[in-house]
Amino acid sequence: MKILVCISHVPDTTSKINFANGDSEFDTNGVQFVINPNDEFGLTRAIWFKEKQGANVTVVNVGGPETEATLRKALAIGADEAIRINAVPTDGFFVATQLAEVIKNGGYDLVIAGKESLDYNGGMVPGMIAALIGGNFVNSCINVEVDGNNAKVTREIDGGKETLSTTLPLIIGGQKGLVEEKDLRIPNMRGIMTARTKALTLLEPVAATHNTKTVKFEKPAPKSAVKLISADNLDELVNLLHTEAKVI
């Protein structure tokens, strides 16, 4: 079985976010980048398939040279090879088009993408890939099992879970639950050394439409100061909820 894991290169959640050029660009200065958390769950599940069923695991990213450290980390975790598509990931459709081209040429049985990236939270790429290649698609996936050409997939739905049967090739939008958090892999020294010798292929992007562009970023309004009211002064609390907070 050939598995392709789509990897997004996203800011660490502890990073301080700023914008540049009139708030039209994300300022990457001083920002630590990591594997997108949803993708990391997917990568760990793919490594499970490698260990249990002998699957071959490739990771792919759309991005510039700065993303190669993230791809190397994925290789150190256990992926067999990596692909970097040399383009700026401007919007979801552009990224999906690039990934779909790799999938068409690679003959992959299972494509695992995070249901959304931590930075833009668009949640559109996995479904677009499925539409572009004509493959089966399950989003919000929390478990996947493969037996030959058949797959059993569990996804989260409102108020519960749903288990589906489908066939390969299959694209899933994965999330926390594909593996337990405690099972996420941390690269060891052997993995880091081995990653240096694994193939990292550079591909140039195919022509694709840029359907959207970023006009401006805006930070959320800062939280207002907190007023502490004595537990014995309920009248003042009610008055402030009515006159200032206007919630009653």
Cα–Cα distance between 34 and 187 in angstroms, integer?
A: 13
Instruction: Tell me, yes or no, whether 88 lies in a domain.
Output: yes
Question: How far is CA 90 from each of CA 98, 133, 160, 196, 217, rounded to the nearest angstrom?
Answer: 12, 21, 34, 29, 14
Give the span between the Cα atoms of 22 and 19, in whole angstroms.
Answer: 8
7 close to 35: Cβ distance less than 8 angstroms = yes
Could you tell me whether strands 33-35 and 150-157 are parallel, antiparallel, or unpaired per DSSP bridges? unpaired
Structural domains in the chain (count): 1
Q: What is the pTM of this model?
A: 0.88
Best CA proximity match to 66, nearest among 43, 20, 100, 34? 34
Q: What are phi and psi of 15, to 5 degrees?
A: -70, 145
Residue 244 placed within a domain: no
Instruction: Determine, yes or no, domain membership for 245.
Output: no
Q: Can you tell me whether residue 232 is helix, strand or coil?
A: coil
Give the pLDDT score at 126: 96
248 in a domain, yes or no?
A: no
Residue 90 pLDDT? 87
Let me know if residue 235 belongs to a domain. no
Three-state secondary structure readout of 137-188: EEEEEEEEEEECCEEEEEEEECCEEEEEEEECCEEEEECCCCCCHHHCCCCC
**Bond from prior residue into 222 cis (ω within 30 degrees of 0):** no
Whether residue 223 lies inside any domain: the answer is no
Q: Is residue 168 part of a domain?
A: yes
CA dihedral 126→192→81→66, nearest 10 degrees, is 60
Domain of residue 32 covers: 2-215
- Rounded CA separation 226/176 (Å): 34
| pLDDT tens over the chain, length 248 residues | 999 999 999 999 888 889 999 999 999 999 999 999 999 999 999 999 999 999 999 999 999 999 999 999 999 999 999 999 999 998 999 999 999 999 999 999 999 999 999 888 889 999 999 999 999 999 999 999 999 999 999 999 999 999 999 999 999 999 999 999 999 999 999 999 999 999 999 999 999 988 888 899 998 888 888 888 888 888 888 998 889 888 88
CATH number of the domain enclosing 139? 3.40.50.620
What confidence score (pLDDT) does residue 187 get? 92
Torsion of the alpha carbons at 25, 29, 33 and 36, rounded to the nearest 10 = -20
Q: Has residue 233 been placed in a domain?
A: no
